[in-house]
């Protein structure tokens, strides 16, 4: 019952409007796309401490107390300070270039990529803030401390590999520098408020 | 020096536009792949602070966002509120939010899950401390304080 029509030509579909349609789609995706990259200061939170556990004893010389009051004032070792002083103080604290007895001790650690033994600082920056501290100030302080660590890493990287830390390509080298100058910022457990 | 020959009345052949759709399609695919649709409407105003030592957040699909800031609707007051997904939430909702976020990712990717706190400059640290405590409780240790790259002065 099916009739087969012989030699019937299929008319060609006009494809000239395809460009218009695809332009329309293109315009839609152009509008909705967001190219902004999210940036931020990366941190690792410590695991929760069981309430029975006592905090580890750290020698006084190994701690740099940074406290931000509720009025956004900064106290370094209980002395009023300015944000701009923070970076240099933190750098001096973490590097202890002249092995001063007031600044942190160092321990020997084997880091093969840096040529065997390397002195790693035992210093810990203890960061405390009030519940009333503004987030902006907190980020500024975190930023300054990160800057201190990054500058130290940069100096070490230039000394050992001749390039800035950010332009290191080898994962092993990056890991070595990270290990040699860790981000040792400890945030105080929030106190219970009644 | 003037050895240029001007060919009189030489007709310029029409440029074929047949390949234009192909080019446009290529562009479309590019934008389709790079585009990320905004998932939720902002209910809180979060203008993040500036910092100089910011790092890029890698792999956006593995980031869960916590927005903190004053509500955009000024009728709701000025106090900082937390927004998770599409609604206001309290600090106690964060563990469930993190569990839901983990559940929706592949098992291999779960340990790379990062939490990004997008908080307004004016927010007080009290809220942030509470959020951080909750995140520690549920083991979401990778954290990023969202900040814009500072413009050099």
Q: Of A56-60, A124-128, B1-5, B119-123, which gets the smallest average pLDDT?
A: B1-5
Domain ranges for chain B, please list them.
Answer: 50-149
pLDDT at A1 over 60: no
Percentage, residues of chain B above pLDDT 90:
0
- Residue A178 to residues A82, A110, A173, A182, B78, Cα–Cα distance (Å): 28, 13, 9, 5, 42
| Mean predicted confidence (pLDDT) in A141-148 | 86
Tell me whether B54 touches chain A (CB under 8 Å).
yes
B31 dihedral zone (left: phi>0; alpha: psi -120 to 50; beta): alpha
Q: Which of A38-42, A153-157, A182-186 has the highest mean pLDDT?
A: A153-157
Q: Who among A32, A37, A147 is closest to B52 (CB)?
A: A147
Q: Tell me, what's the pLDDT at A65?
A: 83
- Are A131 and B126 inside 8 Å of each other by CB? yes
Residue B20 confidence (pLDDT): 79
Report the distance separating Cα A131 and Cα A135, nearest Å: 10
Tokens describing residue A147: 């800057």
Q: For the domain B50-149, what is the CATH code?
A: 3.30.420.270
Does residue A194 carry a pLDDT above 50?
Answer: no
- A64 contacts A121 by C-beta, under 8 angstroms: no
The B residues from 121 to 140 touching A (CB cutoff 8 Å) are 121-126, 128-129, 132-133, 135-137, 139-140
State the ipTM, two decimals. Answer: 0.71
Bridge partners (DSSP) listed for residue A127: A66, A187
- Does B46 lie at the interface with A, CB-CB under 8 angstroms? no
pLDDT at B83 over 80: yes
pLDDT tops 70 at residue A5: no
List chain B residues with CB under 8 Å of A139: 49, 51, 145, 147
Banded model confidence at residue B38, pLDDT cuts 50, 70, 90:
low
Q: For the residues A128-150, what does the mean pLDDT come to?
A: 85
**Span B1-28, average pLDDT:** 73
Tell me the two tokens of residue B46.
């979060």
Across chain A, mean pLDDT equals 79
Scanning chain A, the segments in alpha helix (DSSP H) are 18-32, 83-95, 135-161, 171-180
């Amino acid at each position: 019952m099916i009739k087969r029509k012989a030699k019937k030509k299929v008319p060609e579909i006009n494809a000239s409007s395809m460009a218009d349609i695809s332009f329309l789609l293109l315009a839609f995706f152009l509008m909705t796309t967001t190219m902004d990259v999210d940036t931020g200061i990366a941190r690792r939170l410590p695991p929760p401490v069981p309430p029975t556990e006592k905090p580890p004893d750290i020698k006084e010389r190994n701690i740099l107390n940074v406290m931000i009051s509720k009025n956004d004032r900064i106290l370094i070792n209980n002395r009023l300070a300015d944000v701009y002083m923070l970076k240099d103080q933190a750098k001096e604290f973490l590097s202890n270039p002249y092995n001063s007895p007031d600044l942190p001790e160092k321990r020997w650690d084997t880091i093969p990529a840096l040529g065997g033994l390397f002195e790693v600082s035992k210093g810990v920056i203890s960061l405390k803030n009030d519940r009333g501290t503004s987030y902006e100030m907190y980020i500024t302080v975190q930023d300054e401390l990160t800057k201190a660590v990054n500058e130290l890493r940069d100096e070490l990287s230039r000394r050992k590999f001749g390039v800035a830390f950010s332009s290191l390509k080898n994962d092993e080298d990056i890991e070595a520098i990270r290990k040699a100058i860790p981000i040792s910022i400890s945030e105080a457990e929030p106190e219970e408020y009644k | 020096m003037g050895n240029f020959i001007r060919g009189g009345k030489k007709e310029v052949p029409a440029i074929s536009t047949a390949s234009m759709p192909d080019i446009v399609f290529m562009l479309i695919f590019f934008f389709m792949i790079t585009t990320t649709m905004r998932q939720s409407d902002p209910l809180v105003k979060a203008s993040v602070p500036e910092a100089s030592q910011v790092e890029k957040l890698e792999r956006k699909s593995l980031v869960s966002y916590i927005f903190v800031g004053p509500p955009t609707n000024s009728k709701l007051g000025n106090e900082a509120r937390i927004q998770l997904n599409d609604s206001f939430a309290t600090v106690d909702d964060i563990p469930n939010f993190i569990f839901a976020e983990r559940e929706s990712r592949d098992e291999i990717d779960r340990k790379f899950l990062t939490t990004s706190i997008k908080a307004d400059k004016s927010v007080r640290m009290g809220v942030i401390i509470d959020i951080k405590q909750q995140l520690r409780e549920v083991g979401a240790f990778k954290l990023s304080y969202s900040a814009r790259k500072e413009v050099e002065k």
